[in-house]
Amino acid sequence: MATKLVRGRATRILVLNPNSSQSMTDGMEAVVHSIDLPYSTEIYTYTGPPDAPASINDGHDIQKSTEAVLGDLGDTLHDCYQGIVVACFSVHPLVPKIQSSHGQSTAVTGIFEASILAAMSLLGPGQQWGILTTGKFWEEHLADGVNAFLGVDGKGPTAKFAGVESTGLNASDFHHGVDPVVVREKLITATKRLLQGGNTTCIVMGCAGMAGLKDTIRTAAKEQRGEHFAYVVLHVIDGVRAGIMEVERMIRHQRQRRG
């Protein structure tokens, strides 16, 4: 008996970690398992090659990771995935480079861009969002990136953007090399600084290595502004989760466009 496919289409999404840390990719995979996605959505992960930085901590590392990943992958992404998430919380050149070569057939975003869109969508009147990040370099880099993405002139906080606070750690410190107690203390301190003044009701975890640390941020928020704020009012956005959810939405829109 002859049959025909009436409905259904597998969706393949690649979460691309542009550094060479497998432990960081493992942390992202834990986030992937926590997302409620259609059964037909397949999530793949990629870790940068050995010549990519183990931790992306500055502009040099961003450029080095771009060159290493492009050299390793070449054109192998073509037609393999419907969506690609660049899992580095930065203004990463891989996002526009992959968009320019695969953008007509593939939905591409970075966790930085996806997190901004998610945060903005969750704000009520008079509310702000802000970013928790790792080292000092990222404070200016991310603040400038937010303004450029939103088309806002100037630097620093705006009516909706509360700014960036850093922990003083590197991305790799969240998974090895630093006592977890120290990591927790620094993250709590940075969270409390971000919540001082204004009306910050949404915090973005500005590093893929922060995956799984939402509870620590909520603990700091509870100490700073009470239990109701920490567990009812405050949104804490994981960039990898935001990236996957955003790219899945983009895929749906692309399919509608193609009919």
CA-to-CA distance for 250 and 134, rounded, in angstroms?
29
Q: Could you give phi then psi for residue 103, rounded to 5 degrees?
A: -60, -25
Residue 78: its pLDDT value, please?
Answer: 63
- Tell me, yes or no, whether 180 and 140 share the same domain: yes
Q: Which is more confidently placed, 29 or 246?
A: 246
Q: What pTM, to 2 d.p., does this model score?
A: 0.90
Would 2 be classed as within a structural domain? no
Would 40 be classed as within a structural domain? yes
Task: Say which range, 77-86, 112-121, 151-160, 196-205, has the weakest mean pLDDT.
Answer: 151-160
pLDDT, tens digit, 9 for 90 and up, residues 185-216: 999 999 999 999 789 999 999 988 787 788 99
Question: For residue 177, is it left (φ>0), alpha (ψ between -120 and 50) or beta?
Answer: left
Would 193 be classed as within a structural domain? yes
pLDDT of 146 > 90? The answer is yes
CA-to-CA distance for 165 and 189, rounded, in angstroms?
10
- Tell me, yes or no, whether 226 and 250 share the same domain: no
- Tell me, yes or no, whether 119 and 135 share the same domain: yes
Q: What's the chain's average pLDDT? A: 88
Residues above pLDDT 70, as percent of the chain: 90
- Tell me, yes or no, whether 167 and 189 share the same domain: yes
Domain that holds residue 75: 11-111+240-258
Would 55 be classed as within a structural domain? yes
pLDDT, tens digit, 9 for 90 and up, residues 28-44: 888 888 888 888 889 99
Task: Say which range, 103-112, 122-131, 187-196, has the weakest mean pLDDT.
Answer: 103-112
Would 1 be classed as within a structural domain? no
Domain harbouring 78, CATH code: 3.40.50.12500
Would 205 be classed as within a structural domain? yes
